Chain A
Amino acid sequence: MIANADALLKPLTIRGLTIRNRVMSTSHAPGYGKDGKPQERYQLYHEEKARGGIGLTMFGGSSSVAVDSPAAPWNQISVADDSVIPYFQQFADRVHRHGAKLMIQLTHMGRRTKWDTEHWLPTVSASPRREPASRTVPKELEQEDIDRIVAGFASAARRCREGGLDGCEISAAHGHLVDQFWSPSVNRRSDKYGGSLENRMRFGIEVLSAMREAAGDDFVIGIRMSGDEMIPDGLPAEDCLRIATEYARRGLVDFLNIVGGQARDHIAHAISLPNMSFPVAPFLYLPSAIKREVDVAVFHAQRVTDLATGARAVAEGHVDMIAMTRAHIADPHLVKKLSEGRADDIRQCVGAGYCIDRIYVGGDALCIQNAATGREATMPHVIAKAETARKIVVVGAGPAGLEAARVAAERGHKVVLFEKEKTVGGQVNVAAKATWREALSGIPRWLHGQVLKKGVDLRLGTAATPALVAAEAPDVVIIATGGTASKGHLAGTEHVATTHDVLTGAVEPTGTVLVYDEIGGHNASSTAEALAKRGCLVEVATHDRMVAEEVGTTNQPIHLRELYKLGVVMTPNMELMEVYPEGNRLIAVLRNTMTDAEEERVVDRVVIDAGTLPVDALFFELKAGAVNRGVTDFDAMIAGRPQPWPAGAGYQLYRIGDAVAGRNIHAAIFDALRLVKDM
């Protein structure tokens, strides 16, 4: 049992609304909206948190209140007309059934959106200053625009109420329209909305006053705002505190949902959504400072990944409720597990940022380690028992094999899990060796604990052979043997080391190192950072437009920041063609992908990340004897049907994760879950 757990399990009453405990999930945009409405997938995602015991779940990050703040960019929700109300009612029923409360975030994004979607209306703001993140130059709002948008907020609040939601907040964080008016970095107006802080606060006051009028005195309305914009020309903590106390004093808000930072450019965005390179709860001091000055409830989210930290934040009085949004994406049953005394079973968020990084490239939020999140219609968070218990052999205890063993054991099967290494984790162990990527090790750590708890027969240090597998007389054999680092297809691969070689310590480069990034993932950047920290002179070359191009918006800026700090030379648009020795050094030949011009580097080491190739020898040895010839029926798997069970004595054989083709952790875990959940 964690310390102060009782502090989390106490109710909180705000304006007559009693929330059953102090754990919440903040509004975010998981990319599940459809036609601007929260439909089944969106609702099921939040219902799962409600079933899992959460007190308050807030949905609809950046839900728009006006047509010039389009809902399209991240598959968001539009509250700009009444057609959304039936969806709210259905959504609220679904969440209330499990005793949780449901609120939404309303906003006008101002300049922080796209003009080339949905209605093709120009973006608007307090002043025509370009936002780097959205790359738009907004139109300066006229008084008529302001009145229209204020009325839009009011109507949206009424729709929330009519939709049976328990409340709403407006977003004045991350650089939306309300805080665009607040922030001197955007607002250069000379009318009653600009200049002094009093004037800059006016727009927000008009918005909240109109919302209160439209929604009634018994509807909870809060605000999400920054406690410190952390940019030189932005709002300092003192001004944020003044805004918070003034809005609270005027009775405009029932709660203050405080974050740290702003999000106008790449690094600001990465800081406001802290990844695993940050300590836990890095900005807890901001809501704490505000809570001292106000008598409304204070909420806070930002890398509170574990309940112990959340419990401390509440118990010590820094906040009234702790928001664990990404923590719920990793495990929506967090509170239930805590209150049932099963805190050890909580799948803890590792802060990989996989969920949020996907939505900023137009994808849907998915958890790096929990493949059921966002797929509640087809993937179970609680695995049901199988009707027939079978004997299942899993080979390889990386994320795919561990998840397969966990799910199989939950289904009641008898599971033997072979792992040739002395520890579980597979390639995650390699990745976790690179500086701030260490927290990845939490993924296999949880899986390891679960397979042991569920009685999986884990044979560490045992390389599976056909004879060993046959000795178990299995009904099913799942090959999850992972991949080995590829050296790519350039000339002179024998002179090249891989990122795996460096991180595992197989080679220990010194002097000048060229890291070649063929994949654009974390591997090359984090290996380059590790090498630079060891004192190497490092250049990273890539054929992409920037190193780590595939890494998402909350992680790539951290890689770049660290590489710049360490003086690593980053060379985009270059393809590594050939490596050959000269004396006791190496010559690396690079080709500019745009001009075809060739350059040479004289280095001590060339390290390459060219992905992985499957370790599949055992699969092919077992394939001939398998009743299904090692074939996975994709149609059955996608439809959520059990794999066909062909007649004939013998075992079925499947292959999952990087043992099929090198991809990522989520792919490996999803492969395992969707195959085994029906087995």
Chain B
Amino acid sequence: MTPAPTLALLVLILAALAVAQALRRARLWRRGRPAHVDWLAGLKALPRRYLHDVHDVVARDPYAARMHAIAAGGLITASVLGVFGLVPALGHSPVYGALLALAFAAALAGGVMVGRRRSPVKPARLSGGRFRLVPPALTAYAGGGLLVGIAILAGPGFAALGWLGVALAAAGAAVLVYLLGDGPMRHVFAGALHLAAHPRSDRFEGGRETALHPVDLAAPQKLGAETPADFAWNRLLGFDACIQCGRCEVACPAFAAGQPLNPKKLIQDLVGSLAPGGAPYAGSPYPNARPVAGVGGPELPIVGLGAMVHPDTIWSCTTCRACVEECPMMIEHVDAIVDLRRFQTMELGAVPEKAVQPLLDLRQAEEPGGRALAARGDFAAGLALPKIQDRPAEARPAEVLLWLGEGAYDLRYGRTLRALVRLLGAAQVDFAVLGAEERDCGDLARRLGDEATFQDLARANIATLSRHRFGRILTADPHALHVIRNEYPAFGGHLEVVHHSSFLDELVAGGRLAVGDLGAALPGAVTYHDPCYLGRYNGETEAPRRLLDRLGLERREMARSGKRSMCCGGGGGAPVADIEGERRIPDLRMGQASETGAAIVAVACPTCTAMLEGVTGARPEVRDIAELLLAAVEAAPPAAAPARQRQPEPVA
């Protein structure tokens, strides 16, 4: 034997052990519920999903992208090359030796980069513990392989060097195999399989599959997830794919506010629940963590004081999807949280105290404030707010149906809707509202895990909408937009919905609204705050900016914007759950807005408006884009705007 075939055998043993580890892990995943997976399509799509979707996320941190490309690319190339050492002729080929050395050198450089990431001080978002073993194991394996390559290149006289390399590589490989089963290296196979068997196959290659999956309320199994075994098997696989990079933790608004949620830790708690006694977690804890027993198992409850996760953790989530957007392993944290909430709400009735009344009102009054549905239009008193029921049967279908949403009941947001209604009037848009037939869209119920109430509301709204004739639904509420556009189709509602930012942008672009220059009237810059349910959930980040740019205002961007924007704290029922933290999320977000020096934060969502308006002290003004546009329309030169009415002449 020479070093080359030995290295090849080592690589093969490594591969075999990896498969064994994967199979061992797969037995755990099989404890989960069955899931339909199109393996053929998934495996076929795997390279594209990896090279595009995963790497687009990874590349947001260029160092990490280079590191991963060199380390993973070098390791796989070198290992595959290493297997060719079994071919006797290659064992002495200088060309083979050079190639092998080059590949392992790359892997070695990658290993060094992995190490340097945590040196001299480990960034808070990265984990310690077994992750500290990765750089030495990688460098030992790659360094050993490099020595073997050099030995082959140098000729027969350097066999000793080769054996030294084999020994070093074997030592490194042993650690890597160890880390493969229950450690950082598990992401290699779990991540690859997760990409192939992903529960949201439409989210790749530019798709934005963001709708929550419906619960079959008639199915005999329990509703939502109580134990790890209640998750679909490919969800469990997804949790195992986590590489603990902590990007979710950095993005999470609840974590930033000191509420007891850290998406990374939550995923690790789910992994730990499935396989108790695994690698100890060595990342950031939940901020202000509430004490729990820490007892878990595949068939044991996950949430509870005697379990792994405190209820406050799952109720801290705003469902903003920032963690999902940032996750390079394509893990669906929000789905997991909603599944856990569904069990708490529907099976245990264990909702946060302040969420009890809104849910009760949603069930009994079809409105979370228990207010009369007929009062939804009160905000517009004095303005024309035509009801769709009042349209003559022979009339053309209304151009748009204006979905008013929950914000219509709010005094502040009523100003935004008044501006929108006036703009529709100015643009002579043929619109109508549902009046007392508009129920809550069901967003709050669904995010709080009350799928039953959500489905009742969804079906009732779909039935109502199907009775009326209109072109598109227009709404200023991104939550309603998301629910109606993306979540109603599962219940038979296929409706075209447009957000007011896009619609107003169309009106201006189409010349139906003439705008003046707001620059003089509103000194100071404007910064746009992306609503999560518009940007991340629906991918619409450009129309509001285009619209603002038409108003003659200087627009500045916050450090976090677009699809990577930070939540206002208002989504997912978080305001009614009201889990105590150290800071308020809207205060943090407003701080980011203030940092731009802008005088105005432009918003496009009733929830964001309410949250940001609640920030006290000196801060930029909060204005909805509809309010800004209305001001610009009113500032339009008289020729373009309707002429101001003259004072009446005195009568005789």
Interface residues of A (CB under 8 A from B): 1, 5-6, 9-11, 18-21, 39-40, 55, 86-87, 89-90, 93-94, 97, 99-100, 339-341
* A11 touches which of B378, B409, B415 (Cβ 8 Å): B378
Shortest Cβ distance from residue B139 to the other chain A in the assembled complex, whole angstroms: 62
Asked if residues A1 and B378 are in contact (CB atoms below 8 Å), the reply is no
Asked if residues A10 and B378 are in contact (CB atoms below 8 Å), the reply is yes
Map CB proximity to A onto B555-589 as digits: 1 under 8 Å, 0 otherwise. Answer: 00000000000000000000000000000000000
Shortest Cβ distance from residue B419 to the other chain A in the assembled complex, whole angstroms: 11
Asked if residues A339 and B381 are in contact (CB atoms below 8 Å), the reply is no
Please list 16 pairs of residues, one from A and one from B, whose beta carbons are closer than 8 Å in the complex, sorted by A's number. A6-B409, A9-B381, A10-B381, A11-B381, A11-B382, A18-B381, A19-B381, A21-B381, A21-B382, A55-B381, A86-B652, A87-B651, A97-B645, A100-B382, A339-B411, A340-B415
Residue B392 at the chain A interface, CB threshold 8 Å: no
A339 to B416, CA, bound (A): 11
Closest to B521 in A: A385
Shortest Cβ distance from residue B412 to the other chain A in the assembled complex, whole angstroms: 6
Q: With A20-B382, A97-B645 in contact, is A39–B650 under 8 Å at CB?
A: yes
Q: Which residues of B contact A6 (CB under 8 A)?
A: 409, 411
Closest to B650 in A: A40
Q: Which residues of B contact A9 (CB under 8 A)?
A: 378-379, 381, 411, 414
Q: Which residues of B contact A11 (CB under 8 A)?
A: 378, 381-382
Residue B157 at the chain A interface, CB threshold 8 Å: no
Residue B277 at the chain A interface, CB threshold 8 Å: no
* B651 touches which of A20, A90, A99, A100 (Cβ 8 Å): A90
Shortest Cβ distance from residue B308 to the other chain A in the assembled complex, whole angstroms: 43
Asked if residues B378 and A99 are in contact (CB atoms below 8 Å), the reply is no
A340 to B416, CA, bound (A): 10
Residue B215 at the chain A interface, CB threshold 8 Å: no
Closest to A6 in B: B411
Asked if residues A94 and B648 are in contact (CB atoms below 8 Å), the reply is yes
Q: Which residues of A contact B383 (CB under 8 A)?
A: 99
Map CB proximity to A onto B584-626 as digits: 1 under 8 Å, 0 otherwise. Answer: 0000000000000000000000000000000000000000000
Map CB proximity to A onto B628-648 as digits: 1 under 8 Å, 0 otherwise. Answer: 000000000000000001001
Q: With A90-B651, A93-B648 in contact, is A5–B411 under 8 Å at CB?
A: yes
Map CB proximity to A onto B376-391 as digits: 1 under 8 Å, 0 otherwise. Answer: 0011011100000000
Residue B375 at the chain A interface, CB threshold 8 Å: yes
* A90 touches which of B411, B645, B648 (Cβ 8 Å): B648
Shortest Cβ distance from residue A50 to the other chain B in the assembled complex, whole angstroms: 10
Q: Which residues of B contact A341 (CB under 8 A)?
A: 411-412, 415
A99 to B378, CA, bound (A): 14
A87 to B648, CA, bound (A): 11
Asked if residues B650 and A99 are in contact (CB atoms below 8 Å), the reply is no
- CB contacts between A and B, total, < 8 Å: 46
Q: With A10-B375, A94-B648 in contact, is A20–B415 under 8 Å at CB?
A: no
Asked if residues B411 and A86 are in contact (CB atoms below 8 Å), the reply is no
Shortest Cβ distance from residue B87 to the other chain A in the assembled complex, whole angstroms: 79
A90 to B379, CA, bound (A): 29
9 smallest A-B Cβ distances: which pairs? A20-B382, A11-B381, A20-B381, A99-B382, A86-B651, A10-B378, A90-B648, A6-B411, A90-B651
Q: Which residues of B contact A86 (CB under 8 A)?
A: 651-652
Within 391-435 of B, Cβ neighbours of A (below 8 Å) are at 409, 411-412, 414-415
Counting chain B residues whose Cβ lies within 8 A of the other chain, the interface size class is 10 to 19
* A339 touches which of B375, B409, B414, B650 (Cβ 8 Å): B414
A415 to B170, CA, bound (A): 82
Asked if residues B381 and A1 are in contact (CB atoms below 8 Å), the reply is no
A312 to B315, CA, bound (A): 35
Closest to B410 in A: A6
Q: Which residues of A contact B378 (CB under 8 A)?
A: 9-11
Q: Which residues of A contact B650 (CB under 8 A)?
A: 39-40, 90
Most buried by A among B378, B415, B651: B651
Closest to A21 in B: B381
Closest to A11 in B: B381
Shortest Cβ distance from residue A515 to the other chain B in the assembled complex, whole angstroms: 49
Shortest Cβ distance from residue B404 to the other chain A in the assembled complex, whole angstroms: 15
Q: Which residues of A contact B379 (CB under 8 A)?
A: 9
A87 to B649, CA, bound (A): 11
A80 to B381, CA, bound (A): 34
Q: Which residues of B contact A89 (CB under 8 A)?
A: 651
Q: Which residues of A contact B652 (CB under 8 A)?
A: 86
Shortest Cβ distance from residue A18 to the other chain B in the assembled complex, whole angstroms: 7
A39 to B648, CA, bound (A): 11
A51 to B411, CA, bound (A): 20
Shortest Cβ distance from residue B296 to the other chain A in the assembled complex, whole angstroms: 47
Shortest Cβ distance from residue A151 to the other chain B in the assembled complex, whole angstroms: 26
A21 to B411, CA, bound (A): 13
A6 to B411, CA, bound (A): 6
Q: Which residues of B contact A339 (CB under 8 A)?
A: 411, 414-415
Shortest Cβ distance from residue A556 to the other chain B in the assembled complex, whole angstroms: 38
A20 to B418, CA, bound (A): 13
Beyond contacts A55-B382, A339-B414: 18 other A-B pairs, Cβ-Cβ < 8 A, are A6-B409, A9-B379, A9-B381, A11-B381, A18-B381, A19-B381, A20-B382, A21-B381, A39-B650, A40-B650, A55-B381, A87-B651, A89-B651, A93-B648, A94-B648, A100-B382, A340-B415, A341-B415
Q: Which residues of B contact A93 (CB under 8 A)?
A: 648
Closest to B652 in A: A86
A647 to B121, CA, bound (A): 72
Q: Which residues of B contact A21 (CB under 8 A)?
A: 381-382
Q: Which residues of A contact B412 (CB under 8 A)?
A: 1, 341
A58 to B104, CA, bound (A): 91
Most buried by A among B375, B409, B648, B650: B648
Shortest Cβ distance from residue A417 to the other chain B in the assembled complex, whole angstroms: 22
Q: Which residues of B contact A94 (CB under 8 A)?
A: 648
Shortest Cβ distance from residue A625 to the other chain B in the assembled complex, whole angstroms: 35
Closest to A22 in B: B381
Shortest Cβ distance from residue A643 to the other chain B in the assembled complex, whole angstroms: 26
Q: Which residues of A contact B414 (CB under 8 A)?
A: 9, 339
A86 to B652, CA, bound (A): 8
A57 to B552, CA, bound (A): 38
Most buried by B among A11, A39, A340: A11
A40 to B649, CA, bound (A): 9
A40 to B411, CA, bound (A): 35
Q: Which residues of A contact B409 (CB under 8 A)?
A: 6
Most buried by B among A1, A9, A100: A9
Shortest Cβ distance from residue B336 to the other chain A in the assembled complex, whole angstroms: 38
Shortest Cβ distance from residue B349 to the other chain A in the assembled complex, whole angstroms: 31
Q: Which residues of B contact A10 (CB under 8 A)?
A: 375, 378, 381
A90 to B649, CA, bound (A): 9
Q: Which residues of B contact A340 (CB under 8 A)?
A: 415
Closest to B622 in A: A341
Q: Which residues of A contact B648 (CB under 8 A)?
A: 90, 93-94
Map CB proximity to A onto B343-379 as digits: 1 under 8 Å, 0 otherwise. Answer: 0000000000000000000000000000000010011
Q: Which residues of A contact B382 (CB under 8 A)?
A: 11, 20-21, 55, 99-100
A192 to B52, CA, bound (A): 96
Closest to A1 in B: B411
Q: Which residues of B contact A100 (CB under 8 A)?
A: 382
Closest to B383 in A: A99
Shortest Cβ distance from residue A358 to the other chain B in the assembled complex, whole angstroms: 26
Closest to A94 in B: B648
Shortest Cβ distance from residue B384 to the other chain A in the assembled complex, whole angstroms: 10
Shortest Cβ distance from residue A268 to the other chain B in the assembled complex, whole angstroms: 37
Q: Which residues of B contact A87 (CB under 8 A)?
A: 651
Q: Which residues of B contact A55 (CB under 8 A)?
A: 381-382
Q: Which residues of A contact B651 (CB under 8 A)?
A: 86-87, 89-90
Shortest Cβ distance from residue B642 to the other chain A in the assembled complex, whole angstroms: 12
A508 to B34, CA, bound (A): 93
A99 to B382, CA, bound (A): 6
Q: Which residues of A contact B375 (CB under 8 A)?
A: 10
Map CB proximity to A onto B270-308 as digits: 1 under 8 Å, 0 otherwise. Answer: 000000000000000000000000000000000000000
